[in-house]
Amino acid sequence: MSIATIVSQSTPSGFSAIGVIRLSGDMATKIAANLSNNKSVLKHKKATIRPVFIKKRLVDEAIFTAFLSPKSYTGEDVVEISCHGNLHVCEAIITETVRLGARIAEPGEYTKRAFLNGKLNLLQAESVSLLINARSIEAVKQQTKNLSGGVTKKIMQIKETLLTILSFLELEYGIYHAKGGLGTVTERMGALAEELGVEICLNEPVEECLFDGKKIVGLKTGKNTYTAKKYVMNVDFATGMKGLIPDKLRKRWSNNKLDKKSYSCSTFMLYLGVDKKYDLDHHQIYASQNYHTNLKDVTENKITWDDPSLYVQNVCLTDPSMAPEGHSAIYVLVPVSNVHKSINWDEIKHDYRDVVLETMKKLGYDDLKEHIVSETIVTPDDWGERDIYKGAVFNLAHGLDQMLWRRPQNRFEELDDLFLVGGGTHPGSGLPTIFESGRIGAKLICSDLGIEPDWNGVDTWFPDLKKPKPKR
Ligand SMILES: Cc1cc2nc3c(=O)[nH]c(=O)nc-3n(C[C@H](O)[C@H](O)[C@H](O)COP(=O)(O)OP(=O)(O)OC[C@H]3O[C@@H](n4cnc5c(N)ncnc54)[C@H](O)[C@@H]3O)c2cc1C
Protein backbone atom coordinates (compact mmCIF):
# COMPACT_ATOMS: atom_id res chain seq x y z
CA MET A 1 0.00 0.00 0.00
CA SER A 2 1.47 3.36 -0.95
CA ILE A 3 1.71 6.00 1.77
CA ALA A 4 0.26 9.41 0.85
CA THR A 5 2.96 12.04 0.56
CA ILE A 6 2.36 15.07 2.74
CA VAL A 7 3.82 18.55 2.50
CA SER A 8 3.96 21.61 4.72
CA GLN A 9 6.15 24.54 5.60
CA SER A 10 8.15 23.77 8.74
CA THR A 11 9.26 27.36 9.33
CA PRO A 12 6.89 30.26 10.12
CA SER A 13 5.15 31.73 7.11
CA GLY A 14 6.24 35.30 6.25
CA PHE A 15 9.44 36.92 5.04
CA SER A 16 12.76 35.53 6.26
CA ALA A 17 16.17 34.43 4.98
CA ILE A 18 15.22 30.77 4.76
CA GLY A 19 11.98 28.83 4.54
CA VAL A 20 11.92 25.04 5.00
CA ILE A 21 9.35 22.92 3.21
CA ARG A 22 9.11 19.29 4.13
CA LEU A 23 7.77 16.35 2.12
CA SER A 24 7.18 12.92 3.65
CA GLY A 25 5.86 9.74 2.02
CA ASP A 26 6.43 7.33 -0.84
CA MET A 27 6.53 10.05 -3.54
CA ALA A 28 8.69 12.56 -1.66
CA THR A 29 11.87 12.02 -3.68
CA LYS A 30 9.98 11.80 -6.99
CA ILE A 31 8.14 15.07 -6.34
CA ALA A 32 11.44 16.72 -5.36
CA ALA A 33 13.04 15.47 -8.59
CA ASN A 34 10.18 16.86 -10.71
CA LEU A 35 10.28 20.16 -8.84
CA SER A 36 13.97 20.65 -9.68
CA ASN A 37 13.73 19.02 -13.10
CA ASN A 38 16.66 16.88 -12.01
CA LYS A 39 16.19 13.13 -12.06
CA SER A 40 19.46 12.22 -10.32
CA VAL A 41 18.70 10.26 -7.16
CA LEU A 42 18.77 12.15 -3.87
CA LYS A 43 21.10 10.41 -1.44
CA HIS A 44 20.40 9.85 2.24
CA LYS A 45 21.48 12.80 4.43
CA LYS A 46 23.22 14.49 1.50
CA ALA A 47 22.36 18.15 0.77
CA THR A 48 22.44 19.35 -2.87
CA ILE A 49 21.69 22.75 -4.37
CA ARG A 50 19.08 22.50 -7.10
CA PRO A 51 16.90 24.90 -9.07
CA VAL A 52 13.17 25.05 -8.31
CA PHE A 53 10.78 25.26 -11.26
CA ILE A 54 7.10 26.07 -11.10
CA LYS A 55 5.47 25.04 -14.35
CA LYS A 56 8.88 25.11 -16.07
CA ARG A 57 9.72 28.65 -14.83
CA LEU A 58 12.65 29.02 -12.47
CA VAL A 59 11.51 30.61 -9.20
CA ASP A 60 14.34 29.89 -6.79
CA GLU A 61 17.42 27.84 -5.93
CA ALA A 62 17.12 25.65 -2.87
CA ILE A 63 18.98 23.08 -0.83
CA PHE A 64 17.38 19.63 -1.11
CA THR A 65 18.19 17.20 1.71
CA ALA A 66 16.84 13.66 1.66
CA PHE A 67 16.34 11.41 4.70
CA LEU A 68 15.43 8.03 3.32
CA SER A 69 13.13 5.48 4.95
CA PRO A 70 13.46 4.14 7.60
CA LYS A 71 16.19 6.52 8.80
CA SER A 72 14.07 9.67 8.86
CA TYR A 73 11.95 11.50 11.44
CA THR A 74 8.71 9.93 10.19
CA GLY A 75 10.28 6.62 9.17
CA GLU A 76 9.21 7.40 5.56
CA ASP A 77 11.18 9.02 2.72
CA VAL A 78 11.52 12.68 3.71
CA VAL A 79 12.87 15.57 1.61
CA GLU A 80 13.53 18.98 3.15
CA ILE A 81 13.66 21.89 0.72
CA SER A 82 15.40 24.95 2.16
CA CYS A 83 14.44 27.81 -0.13
CA HIS A 84 14.43 31.59 0.34
CA GLY A 85 11.95 32.44 3.06
CA ASN A 86 9.69 34.57 0.88
CA LEU A 87 5.99 33.98 1.52
CA HIS A 88 5.17 33.82 -2.21
CA VAL A 89 8.07 31.51 -3.05
CA CYS A 90 7.11 29.08 -0.27
CA GLU A 91 3.43 29.13 -1.19
CA ALA A 92 4.24 28.55 -4.87
CA ILE A 93 6.49 25.57 -4.04
CA ILE A 94 3.87 24.00 -1.80
CA THR A 95 1.16 24.48 -4.44
CA GLU A 96 3.44 22.90 -7.03
CA THR A 97 4.18 19.86 -4.83
CA VAL A 98 0.43 19.37 -4.38
CA ARG A 99 0.00 19.53 -8.15
CA LEU A 100 2.72 16.86 -8.41
CA GLY A 101 0.86 14.50 -6.04
CA ALA A 102 1.42 15.59 -2.42
CA ARG A 103 -1.30 16.71 -0.06
CA ILE A 104 -1.15 19.34 2.67
CA ALA A 105 -0.20 17.73 6.01
CA GLU A 106 -2.65 17.91 8.91
CA PRO A 107 -1.39 19.62 12.08
CA GLY A 108 0.97 17.21 13.88
CA GLU A 109 0.81 14.65 11.07
CA TYR A 110 4.60 14.24 10.74
CA THR A 111 4.84 13.39 14.43
CA LYS A 112 1.77 11.15 14.21
CA ARG A 113 3.47 9.22 11.40
CA ALA A 114 6.68 9.04 13.43
CA PHE A 115 4.65 7.51 16.29
CA LEU A 116 2.75 5.09 14.04
CA ASN A 117 6.02 3.98 12.41
CA GLY A 118 7.59 3.31 15.81
CA LYS A 119 10.12 6.17 15.57
CA LEU A 120 8.78 7.88 18.72
CA ASN A 121 6.77 6.60 21.67
CA LEU A 122 3.66 8.42 22.88
CA LEU A 123 5.52 10.41 25.52
CA GLN A 124 8.10 11.57 22.97
CA ALA A 125 5.39 12.39 20.42
CA GLU A 126 3.59 14.59 22.96
CA SER A 127 6.90 16.19 23.93
CA VAL A 128 7.49 17.34 20.35
CA SER A 129 4.41 19.57 20.45
CA LEU A 130 5.15 20.70 24.02
CA LEU A 131 8.74 21.55 23.09
CA ILE A 132 7.67 23.58 20.06
CA ASN A 133 5.18 25.53 22.19
CA ALA A 134 7.29 25.76 25.38
CA ARG A 135 7.14 29.22 26.97
CA SER A 136 10.26 29.05 29.19
CA ILE A 137 13.75 27.59 29.00
CA GLU A 138 12.89 25.28 31.93
CA ALA A 139 9.95 23.85 29.97
CA VAL A 140 12.22 23.44 26.96
CA LYS A 141 14.76 21.50 29.06
CA GLN A 142 12.04 19.20 30.43
CA GLN A 143 10.60 18.40 27.00
CA THR A 144 14.07 17.84 25.56
CA LYS A 145 14.69 15.34 28.34
CA ASN A 146 11.42 13.54 27.51
CA LEU A 147 12.25 13.59 23.82
CA SER A 148 15.67 12.06 24.33
CA GLY A 149 13.91 9.10 25.95
CA GLY A 150 15.20 9.71 29.51
CA VAL A 151 11.73 9.61 31.11
CA THR A 152 10.64 6.63 29.00
CA LYS A 153 13.74 4.75 30.17
CA LYS A 154 12.86 5.53 33.79
CA ILE A 155 9.23 4.39 33.31
CA MET A 156 10.43 1.13 31.76
CA GLN A 157 12.82 0.62 34.69
CA ILE A 158 9.94 1.13 37.17
CA LYS A 159 7.75 -1.27 35.19
CA GLU A 160 10.46 -3.92 35.19
CA THR A 161 11.05 -3.43 38.91
CA LEU A 162 7.33 -3.88 39.65
CA LEU A 163 7.18 -7.06 37.62
CA THR A 164 10.31 -8.34 39.31
CA ILE A 165 8.74 -7.66 42.72
CA LEU A 166 5.83 -9.96 41.82
CA SER A 167 8.13 -12.83 40.86
CA PHE A 168 10.32 -12.16 43.88
CA LEU A 169 7.34 -12.32 46.27
CA GLU A 170 6.18 -15.61 44.77
CA LEU A 171 9.68 -17.10 44.87
CA GLU A 172 10.65 -15.83 48.30
CA TYR A 173 7.39 -16.29 50.20
CA GLY A 174 5.60 -18.89 48.07
CA ILE A 175 1.92 -18.91 47.19
CA TYR A 176 -1.03 -20.74 48.71
CA HIS A 177 -2.51 -23.87 47.23
CA ALA A 178 -6.19 -24.45 47.99
CA LYS A 179 -6.46 -28.10 48.98
CA GLY A 180 -8.60 -29.90 46.40
CA GLY A 181 -7.94 -27.20 43.80
CA LEU A 182 -9.22 -23.66 43.31
CA GLY A 183 -12.78 -24.89 42.88
CA THR A 184 -12.91 -25.56 46.61
CA VAL A 185 -12.58 -21.81 47.29
CA THR A 186 -15.76 -21.19 45.31
CA GLU A 187 -17.51 -24.18 46.90
CA ARG A 188 -16.60 -22.92 50.39
CA MET A 189 -17.84 -19.43 49.57
CA GLY A 190 -21.09 -20.98 48.30
CA ALA A 191 -21.46 -23.00 51.50
CA LEU A 192 -20.92 -19.86 53.64
CA ALA A 193 -23.52 -17.99 51.59
CA GLU A 194 -26.00 -20.82 52.13
CA GLU A 195 -25.30 -20.73 55.87
CA LEU A 196 -26.30 -17.06 55.73
CA GLY A 197 -29.59 -18.01 54.05
CA VAL A 198 -28.75 -17.60 50.35
CA GLU A 199 -30.52 -19.98 47.98
CA ILE A 200 -28.22 -21.00 45.11
CA CYS A 201 -29.96 -22.29 41.97
CA LEU A 202 -27.52 -24.22 39.79
CA ASN A 203 -28.01 -25.47 36.22
CA GLU A 204 -30.56 -22.76 35.57
CA PRO A 205 -28.99 -20.24 33.18
CA VAL A 206 -30.55 -16.82 32.78
CA GLU A 207 -32.20 -16.78 29.37
CA GLU A 208 -33.49 -13.22 29.35
CA CYS A 209 -33.21 -10.01 31.35
CA LEU A 210 -36.32 -7.86 31.73
CA PHE A 211 -36.16 -4.05 31.51
CA ASP A 212 -38.28 -1.06 32.22
CA GLY A 213 -36.58 1.60 30.07
CA LYS A 214 -33.02 1.88 31.36
CA LYS A 215 -33.68 -0.17 34.49
CA ILE A 216 -33.32 -3.90 34.90
CA VAL A 217 -36.41 -5.32 36.62
CA GLY A 218 -36.22 -9.11 36.35
CA LEU A 219 -34.55 -12.28 35.08
CA LYS A 220 -36.04 -15.23 33.27
CA THR A 221 -34.57 -18.73 33.41
CA GLY A 222 -35.99 -21.89 31.87
CA LYS A 223 -37.76 -22.55 35.19
CA ASN A 224 -38.70 -19.22 36.72
CA THR A 225 -38.88 -15.45 36.58
CA TYR A 226 -36.98 -13.71 39.39
CA THR A 227 -37.25 -10.14 40.59
CA ALA A 228 -34.96 -8.36 43.03
CA LYS A 229 -33.94 -4.90 44.17
CA LYS A 230 -30.46 -5.24 42.70
CA TYR A 231 -28.96 -7.59 40.10
CA VAL A 232 -25.38 -8.84 39.74
CA MET A 233 -24.07 -10.22 36.46
CA ASN A 234 -21.06 -12.55 36.65
CA VAL A 235 -21.15 -14.09 33.19
CA ASP A 236 -18.18 -13.29 30.92
CA PHE A 237 -18.62 -9.58 30.17
CA ALA A 238 -18.89 -9.50 26.36
CA THR A 239 -20.95 -12.72 26.26
CA GLY A 240 -23.33 -11.33 28.90
CA MET A 241 -23.70 -8.01 27.13
CA LYS A 242 -24.30 -9.50 23.71
CA GLY A 243 -26.50 -12.34 24.91
CA LEU A 244 -28.58 -10.74 27.65
CA ILE A 245 -28.65 -6.94 27.21
CA PRO A 246 -30.17 -5.66 23.95
CA ASP A 247 -27.73 -3.62 21.86
CA LYS A 248 -30.08 -0.63 21.80
CA LEU A 249 -29.74 -0.26 25.60
CA ARG A 250 -25.94 0.05 25.37
CA LYS A 251 -23.93 2.97 24.03
CA ARG A 252 -20.49 2.74 25.63
CA TRP A 253 -20.50 -1.04 25.36
CA SER A 254 -22.48 -1.52 22.15
CA ASN A 255 -21.83 -4.69 20.10
CA ASN A 256 -19.88 -2.61 17.62
CA LYS A 257 -17.61 -1.21 20.33
CA LEU A 258 -17.21 -4.59 22.02
CA ASP A 259 -15.94 -6.04 18.74
CA LYS A 260 -13.27 -3.35 18.54
CA LYS A 261 -11.86 -3.98 22.03
CA SER A 262 -8.76 -6.06 22.46
CA TYR A 263 -9.06 -9.41 24.18
CA SER A 264 -6.56 -11.55 26.03
CA CYS A 265 -4.90 -14.66 24.70
CA SER A 266 -6.50 -18.06 25.15
CA THR A 267 -5.09 -21.34 26.42
CA PHE A 268 -4.61 -24.82 25.01
CA MET A 269 -5.02 -27.21 27.95
CA LEU A 270 -4.06 -30.77 28.73
CA TYR A 271 -5.56 -32.28 31.89
CA LEU A 272 -3.72 -35.56 32.32
CA GLY A 273 -4.29 -38.48 34.66
CA VAL A 274 -1.01 -40.36 35.00
CA ASP A 275 -0.26 -43.75 36.65
CA LYS A 276 2.99 -42.51 38.09
CA LYS A 277 4.30 -39.95 40.59
CA TYR A 278 6.77 -37.33 39.39
CA ASP A 279 9.27 -35.85 41.78
CA LEU A 280 9.16 -32.57 39.89
CA ASP A 281 8.24 -29.07 41.13
CA HIS A 282 4.59 -28.18 41.74
CA HIS A 283 4.88 -25.23 39.28
CA GLN A 284 7.17 -25.17 36.26
CA ILE A 285 7.29 -22.64 33.45
CA TYR A 286 9.07 -23.44 30.24
CA ALA A 287 9.98 -20.34 28.19
CA SER A 288 10.42 -20.92 24.47
CA GLN A 289 13.92 -20.41 23.09
CA ASN A 290 12.23 -18.01 20.67
CA TYR A 291 10.22 -16.32 23.37
CA HIS A 292 9.49 -13.14 21.39
CA THR A 293 8.43 -15.02 18.26
CA ASN A 294 6.18 -17.18 20.43
CA LEU A 295 4.55 -14.07 21.94
CA LYS A 296 4.17 -12.54 18.49
CA ASP A 297 2.49 -15.72 17.22
CA VAL A 298 -0.01 -15.55 20.07
CA THR A 299 -0.97 -11.96 19.27
CA GLU A 300 -0.96 -12.51 15.51
CA ASN A 301 -3.25 -15.55 15.60
CA LYS A 302 -0.55 -17.99 14.61
CA ILE A 303 0.37 -21.30 16.22
CA THR A 304 3.89 -21.86 17.55
CA TRP A 305 4.55 -25.42 16.44
CA ASP A 306 8.22 -25.31 17.24
CA ASP A 307 9.08 -24.99 20.93
CA PRO A 308 6.05 -23.25 22.50
CA SER A 309 6.17 -21.77 26.02
CA LEU A 310 4.13 -23.62 28.61
CA TYR A 311 3.19 -23.92 32.27
CA VAL A 312 3.01 -27.33 33.97
CA GLN A 313 1.50 -28.06 37.36
CA ASN A 314 2.36 -31.25 39.21
CA VAL A 315 -0.24 -30.69 41.92
CA CYS A 316 0.11 -34.07 43.68
CA LEU A 317 3.52 -33.07 44.95
CA THR A 318 1.70 -30.70 47.35
CA ASP A 319 -1.78 -32.19 47.42
CA PRO A 320 -1.91 -36.01 46.94
CA SER A 321 -5.72 -35.87 47.32
CA MET A 322 -5.90 -34.72 43.70
CA ALA A 323 -5.23 -38.24 42.29
CA PRO A 324 -5.57 -41.89 43.43
CA GLU A 325 -2.65 -43.46 45.30
CA GLY A 326 0.44 -43.81 43.09
CA HIS A 327 -1.08 -41.56 40.41
CA SER A 328 -0.69 -37.90 39.44
CA ALA A 329 -2.87 -35.18 38.00
CA ILE A 330 -0.84 -33.07 35.58
CA TYR A 331 -2.16 -29.76 34.32
CA VAL A 332 -0.57 -28.18 31.24
CA LEU A 333 -1.38 -24.69 30.03
CA VAL A 334 -0.09 -23.33 26.72
CA PRO A 335 -0.78 -19.65 26.02
CA VAL A 336 -2.16 -19.46 22.46
CA SER A 337 -4.12 -17.12 20.20
CA ASN A 338 -7.76 -16.51 21.09
CA VAL A 339 -10.42 -17.84 18.71
CA HIS A 340 -9.62 -16.97 15.11
CA LYS A 341 -11.14 -18.07 11.81
CA SER A 342 -7.73 -19.14 10.49
CA ILE A 343 -7.29 -21.77 13.22
CA ASN A 344 -9.44 -24.91 13.37
CA TRP A 345 -8.44 -26.56 16.63
CA ASP A 346 -10.42 -29.73 16.04
CA GLU A 347 -8.18 -30.47 13.06
CA ILE A 348 -4.88 -29.87 14.82
CA LYS A 349 -5.41 -30.48 18.52
CA HIS A 350 -3.98 -34.01 18.57
CA ASP A 351 -0.83 -32.98 16.67
CA TYR A 352 -0.45 -30.02 19.00
CA ARG A 353 -0.86 -32.27 22.03
CA ASP A 354 2.14 -34.29 20.75
CA VAL A 355 4.21 -31.10 20.36
CA VAL A 356 3.34 -30.14 23.94
CA LEU A 357 4.23 -33.58 25.35
CA GLU A 358 7.54 -33.44 23.48
CA THR A 359 8.30 -29.96 24.88
CA MET A 360 7.51 -31.21 28.40
CA LYS A 361 10.53 -33.53 28.18
CA LYS A 362 12.62 -30.40 28.71
CA LEU A 363 11.01 -30.06 32.14
CA GLY A 364 11.75 -33.65 33.18
CA TYR A 365 8.57 -35.41 31.95
CA ASP A 366 10.57 -37.83 29.77
CA ASP A 367 8.22 -40.81 29.76
CA LEU A 368 4.90 -39.02 30.29
CA LYS A 369 3.29 -40.29 27.08
CA GLU A 370 3.53 -43.94 28.22
CA HIS A 371 1.89 -43.20 31.58
CA ILE A 372 -1.22 -41.26 30.54
CA VAL A 373 -4.36 -43.10 31.66
CA SER A 374 -6.88 -40.31 31.17
CA GLU A 375 -6.71 -37.16 29.17
CA THR A 376 -8.83 -34.10 28.43
CA ILE A 377 -7.85 -31.53 25.84
CA VAL A 378 -9.47 -28.08 25.98
CA THR A 379 -8.80 -25.71 23.07
CA PRO A 380 -9.63 -22.01 22.57
CA ASP A 381 -12.60 -23.09 20.44
CA ASP A 382 -13.87 -25.16 23.40
CA TRP A 383 -13.53 -22.14 25.74
CA GLY A 384 -15.39 -20.06 23.14
CA GLU A 385 -18.24 -22.58 23.12
CA ARG A 386 -18.35 -22.36 26.93
CA ASP A 387 -19.60 -18.75 26.90
CA ILE A 388 -16.15 -17.16 26.90
CA TYR A 389 -16.10 -14.48 24.23
CA LYS A 390 -13.45 -15.30 21.60
CA GLY A 391 -12.19 -17.96 24.03
CA ALA A 392 -10.20 -15.13 25.67
CA VAL A 393 -9.94 -16.74 29.10
CA PHE A 394 -8.26 -13.69 30.66
CA ASN A 395 -11.02 -11.55 29.21
CA LEU A 396 -10.69 -7.92 28.04
CA ALA A 397 -6.94 -7.38 27.65
CA HIS A 398 -5.17 -5.41 30.35
CA GLY A 399 -3.80 -2.55 28.21
CA LEU A 400 -3.78 0.89 29.82
CA ASP A 401 -6.68 1.77 27.52
CA GLN A 402 -8.86 -0.96 29.07
CA MET A 403 -8.01 -0.60 32.74
CA LEU A 404 -9.30 1.36 35.74
CA TRP A 405 -12.15 3.68 34.70
CA ARG A 406 -11.80 2.45 31.13
CA ARG A 407 -12.93 -1.06 32.13
CA PRO A 408 -16.63 -1.91 32.60
CA GLN A 409 -17.53 -0.47 35.99
CA ASN A 410 -18.90 -2.61 38.82
CA ARG A 411 -21.93 -0.34 39.01
CA PHE A 412 -22.98 -0.67 35.38
CA GLU A 413 -23.24 2.85 34.09
CA GLU A 414 -25.69 2.07 31.30
CA LEU A 415 -28.53 0.47 33.31
CA ASP A 416 -29.98 1.12 36.74
CA ASP A 417 -29.70 -1.55 39.44
CA LEU A 418 -27.31 -3.76 37.47
CA PHE A 419 -23.87 -4.55 38.95
CA LEU A 420 -21.05 -6.29 37.12
CA VAL A 421 -18.37 -8.58 38.51
CA GLY A 422 -15.85 -10.98 36.98
CA GLY A 423 -12.67 -10.88 34.95
CA GLY A 424 -13.98 -8.58 32.23
CA THR A 425 -14.93 -5.84 34.66
CA HIS A 426 -13.07 -3.48 36.98
CA PRO A 427 -10.51 -4.08 38.53
CA GLY A 428 -9.55 -6.90 36.11
CA SER A 429 -8.88 -10.51 35.28
CA GLY A 430 -7.20 -13.07 37.56
CA LEU A 431 -8.82 -14.62 40.60
CA PRO A 432 -7.71 -12.18 43.36
CA THR A 433 -8.86 -9.25 41.24
CA ILE A 434 -12.09 -11.01 40.33
CA PHE A 435 -12.87 -11.58 44.04
CA GLU A 436 -12.17 -7.87 44.54
CA SER A 437 -14.76 -7.02 41.86
CA GLY A 438 -17.23 -9.06 43.94
CA ARG A 439 -16.28 -7.19 47.09
CA ILE A 440 -16.58 -3.77 45.40
CA GLY A 441 -19.96 -4.77 43.94
CA ALA A 442 -21.13 -5.90 47.38
CA LYS A 443 -20.10 -2.59 48.98
CA LEU A 444 -21.91 -0.59 46.31
CA ILE A 445 -25.08 -2.63 46.82
CA CYS A 446 -24.83 -2.37 50.62
CA SER A 447 -24.51 1.40 50.33
CA ASP A 448 -27.53 1.61 48.00
CA LEU A 449 -29.67 -0.60 50.22
CA GLY A 450 -28.55 0.99 53.50
CA ILE A 451 -26.97 -2.21 54.81
CA GLU A 452 -23.88 -1.87 57.00
CA PRO A 453 -21.65 -4.83 56.24
CA ASP A 454 -19.69 -6.69 58.85
CA TRP A 455 -16.33 -7.42 57.23
CA ASN A 456 -15.04 -9.54 60.12
CA GLY A 457 -14.30 -6.40 62.08
CA VAL A 458 -12.05 -4.97 59.36
CA ASP A 459 -13.17 -1.59 58.06
CA THR A 460 -12.57 -1.63 54.32
CA TRP A 461 -15.38 0.77 53.43
CA PHE A 462 -14.72 3.31 50.65
CA PRO A 463 -14.19 6.72 52.30
CA ASP A 464 -16.21 8.53 49.61
CA LEU A 465 -19.12 6.07 49.62
CA LYS A 466 -22.16 6.78 51.76
CA LYS A 467 -21.96 4.45 54.75
CA PRO A 468 -25.32 3.27 56.09
CA LYS A 469 -26.20 4.37 59.60
CA PRO A 470 -26.21 1.44 62.05
CA LYS A 471 -29.78 0.23 62.79
CA ARG A 472 -30.83 0.61 66.46
C1 LIG B 1 -7.11 -22.51 32.11
C2 LIG B 1 -7.19 -21.25 32.89
C3 LIG B 1 -6.17 -20.93 33.75
C4 LIG B 1 -6.21 -19.77 34.50
N5 LIG B 1 -5.23 -19.51 35.38
C6 LIG B 1 -5.32 -18.46 36.20
C7 LIG B 1 -4.37 -18.24 37.23
O8 LIG B 1 -3.42 -18.98 37.36
N9 LIG B 1 -4.51 -17.18 38.03
C10 LIG B 1 -5.56 -16.34 37.91
O11 LIG B 1 -5.66 -15.42 38.70
N12 LIG B 1 -6.48 -16.51 36.93
C13 LIG B 1 -6.39 -17.55 36.10
N14 LIG B 1 -7.33 -17.75 35.12
C15 LIG B 1 -8.29 -16.72 34.90
C16 LIG B 1 -9.44 -16.81 35.88
O17 LIG B 1 -9.49 -18.00 36.53
C18 LIG B 1 -10.68 -16.74 35.14
O19 LIG B 1 -10.60 -15.53 34.45
C20 LIG B 1 -11.84 -16.73 36.13
O21 LIG B 1 -12.29 -18.02 36.42
C22 LIG B 1 -12.98 -15.97 35.56
O23 LIG B 1 -13.90 -15.81 36.59
P24 LIG B 1 -15.24 -15.09 36.30
O25 LIG B 1 -16.02 -15.12 37.56
O26 LIG B 1 -15.02 -13.78 35.65
O27 LIG B 1 -15.93 -15.98 35.19
P28 LIG B 1 -16.31 -17.50 35.21
O29 LIG B 1 -15.52 -18.28 36.20
O30 LIG B 1 -16.28 -17.93 33.78
O31 LIG B 1 -17.81 -17.43 35.74
C32 LIG B 1 -18.90 -17.08 34.92
C33 LIG B 1 -20.05 -17.93 35.35
O34 LIG B 1 -21.21 -17.47 34.69
C35 LIG B 1 -21.99 -18.63 34.38
N36 LIG B 1 -22.95 -18.27 33.31
C37 LIG B 1 -22.70 -18.12 31.99
N38 LIG B 1 -23.83 -17.79 31.35
C39 LIG B 1 -24.81 -17.73 32.29
C40 LIG B 1 -26.20 -17.44 32.25
N41 LIG B 1 -26.81 -17.11 31.10
N42 LIG B 1 -26.90 -17.48 33.42
C43 LIG B 1 -26.28 -17.79 34.60
N44 LIG B 1 -24.97 -18.06 34.69
C45 LIG B 1 -24.24 -18.04 33.54
C46 LIG B 1 -20.96 -19.63 33.93
O47 LIG B 1 -21.50 -20.94 34.01
C48 LIG B 1 -19.87 -19.39 34.97
O49 LIG B 1 -20.03 -20.20 36.10
C50 LIG B 1 -7.31 -18.90 34.35
C51 LIG B 1 -8.33 -19.21 33.47
C52 LIG B 1 -8.27 -20.39 32.75
C53 LIG B 1 -9.39 -20.73 31.82
Q: Where are the domains of the chain?
A: 6-116, 205-261+394-449, 266-379
Domain 205-261+394-449 has CATH 3.50.50.60: yes
Q: How many angstroms does the Cα of residue 445 sit away from the middle of ligand 1?
A: 22
Q: Which atom of ligand 1 is nearest to the CA of 433?
A: 11
Question: Does the beta carbon of 270 lie inside 6 Å of ligand 1?
Answer: no
Protein residue whose Cα sits closest to atom 52 of ligand 1: 393
CA of 149 to the centre of ligand 1 (A): 40
Mutate to test the pocket of ligand 1, among 245, 263, 333, 393 (most ligand atoms within 8 A of CB): 393
**Distance from the CA of 374 to the center of ligand 1, in angstroms?**
24
Is the shortest distance between the CB of 380 and ligand 1 below 6 Å?
Answer: no
Question: Ligand 1 within 6 A of 206 CB?
Answer: yes
Task: Quickly state the pLDDT bin for 49 (edges 50, 70, 90).
Answer: very high
**6-116: CATH number:** 3.30.1360.120
Residue 408 Cβ inside 6 Å of ligand 1? The answer reads: no
115 has a pLDDT exceeding 60: yes
What pLDDT does 1 receive? 58
The C-alpha atoms of residue 456 and residue 43 are separated, in whole angstroms, by 74
Checking if the pLDDT of 408 tops 70, the result is yes
CA 295 to ligand 1 centroid distance, Å: 23
pLDDT band for position 144 (50/70/90)? Answer: confident
Separation of 233 CA from ligand 1 center, angstroms? 13
pLDDT digits (tens, 9 = 90+) for 147-197: 777 777 777 777 778 778 878 888 888 888 999 999 999 999 999 999 999
pLDDT per residue as tens digits for the range 349-382: 999 999 999 999 999 999 999 999 999 999 999 9
Q: What is the pLDDT of residue 470?
A: 56
pLDDT at residue 147, as a whole number = 72
Class of the CATH domain delimited by 266-379:
alpha beta
Does residue 472 register a pLDDT over 60? no
